[in-house]
Amino acid sequence: MRILGTNSCKSDSSMLAAYSETLGAAVMRRKTAIALRAARVEAELASKTKSEFIANMSHELRTPLNAIIGFSDMMISMSDIPPEKVAQYSGHIKEAAEHLLGLINSILDASKVQAGKLAVDPAEMDIEELIEGCQMIIMPRAREKRLLVEWKPSGELPPIMADHMRIKQVLINLLSNAVKFTPEGGRITIHSELIDDGETVRIAVEDTGEGMTPAEIDVAMRPFGQVNNRLNKKNEGTGLGLPLSAALVRLHDGKFGIESEKGKGARVFFTLPVKGPRQKPGRN
C-alpha cells in the first residue's frame, strides 16, 4: 500500500500498519482456536452418536440372530421333535429373520436418503385399503397391550398417486410407535380425510401415550434420535423410523408433522397430494 503525506504521518501509519497486523494475527489465532474447538465438539458429538448407534445396532442385530441360532440349534440337536414344535420353532426363526431384514432395509434406506439417492415410484392406489392392511398388521401387538385401535373409514377418499410400499412403511412406522409408546389400556385413533378442496389426503395417528416436549420432538426427528421415557426400553429400536417416514413423505411432496404434549399423547400426521408428487419419479 502507498502511504502519502509527511514523514511523521508515515511513521504513524507504519505503526498503525504494524499494530493492525499484530491485531489481525491475534484475531486469526482466536478464530482458528474457536474453529478448532467447534470442530472437536462436532467430531465428539458425531462419534458419540456413532458409537451409541453402533451399540444399539449390535444389540438390535444380535437379538434376532441369537433367536435364529438358538432355535435352529434346538432343531438340529433334538431328535424326534414333535411336528407342532417344528412349526413353532420355524415360525420363530422366520419372524426373527424378517425382523432382521426390516432392520437392514431401514438402515439402507436411511443412508440412501442421506445421499439423496432414494426415489419413489408412484402408482394409483387405494389409501383406505392400505390403512386397513396396516391396522391388521399392528393389531396382535395392540391386543397384547389392550389398546383400543379406532379407525372409521370415510369410504370417500379418491384413489391417489403414491408409492404403495413407501406409504405402507410410513404408516406402519407411525402405528408401531403409537403402540410402543402408549401404556396398556390406551387408545390409538387413525384419521383419514380429504383436505384442500379435494387435492390432498391427510392421515393422522393419534395416541394417548407418553407424548413428547417440543425439544424431544426435535430429537425424535433426527436420525437415530430416541427420547428417554419409561416405555422406551434401553436399546430398543433404531431411532430411524420418524426421520425416514418424514423423508418418504417429502419425496411425495407431502407434509409431515408431530403435535404432542408430554404425558398427554401424540398426533403424528402426514399429507399426500392426490395427484402424486410434482417431480418426475426417479429424479433422484
Ligand X SMILES: Nc1ncnc2c1ncn2[C@@H]1O[C@H](COP(=O)(O)OP(=O)(O)O)[C@@H](O)[C@H]1O
End-to-end CA distance of the chain: 51
Q: Is 13 in the site for ligand X (CB under 6 A)?
A: no
Q: Is 207 in the site for ligand X (CB under 6 A)?
A: yes
Q: Is 266 in the site for ligand X (CB under 6 A)?
A: yes
Do the beta carbons of residue 232 and residue 225 sit within 8 Å? no
Place of cell 502511504: 3
Residues 155-174 that bind ligand X (CB under 6 A): 173
Q: Is 238 in the site for ligand X (CB under 6 A)?
A: yes
Residues 78-137 that bind ligand X (CB under 6 A): none
Which region among 88-96, 138-146, 162-170, 204-212 touches ligand X (by CB under 6 A)?
Answer: 204-212
How far apart are alpha carbons 116 and 142 in whole angstroms? 35
Q: Is 67 in the site for ligand X (CB under 6 A)?
A: no
| Residue among 277, 5, 284 at smallest CA distance from 122 | 277
Closest separation in Å from C-beta 70 to Mg ion: 26
How far apart are alpha carbons 83 and 121 in whole angstroms? 43
Chain-centroid distance, C-alpha 215:
16
Which region among 37-45, 127-135, 159-167, 227-235 touches ligand X (by CB under 6 A)?
Answer: 227-235
SS3 label, residue 165: helix
| Residue among 173, 141, 166 at smallest CA distance from 258 | 173
Q: Is 242 in the site for ligand X (CB under 6 A)?
A: yes
Pairing status of strand 148-151 against strand 187-195: parallel
Q: Whose Cβ is closer to Mg ion: residue 93's or residue 240's?
A: 240
Q: Is 241 in the site for Mg ion (CB under 5 A)?
A: yes
Closest separation in Å from C-beta 61 to Mg ion: 17
Q: Is 56 in the site for ligand X (CB under 6 A)?
A: no
Q: Binding residues for Mg ion, per CB under 5 A? A: 177, 241
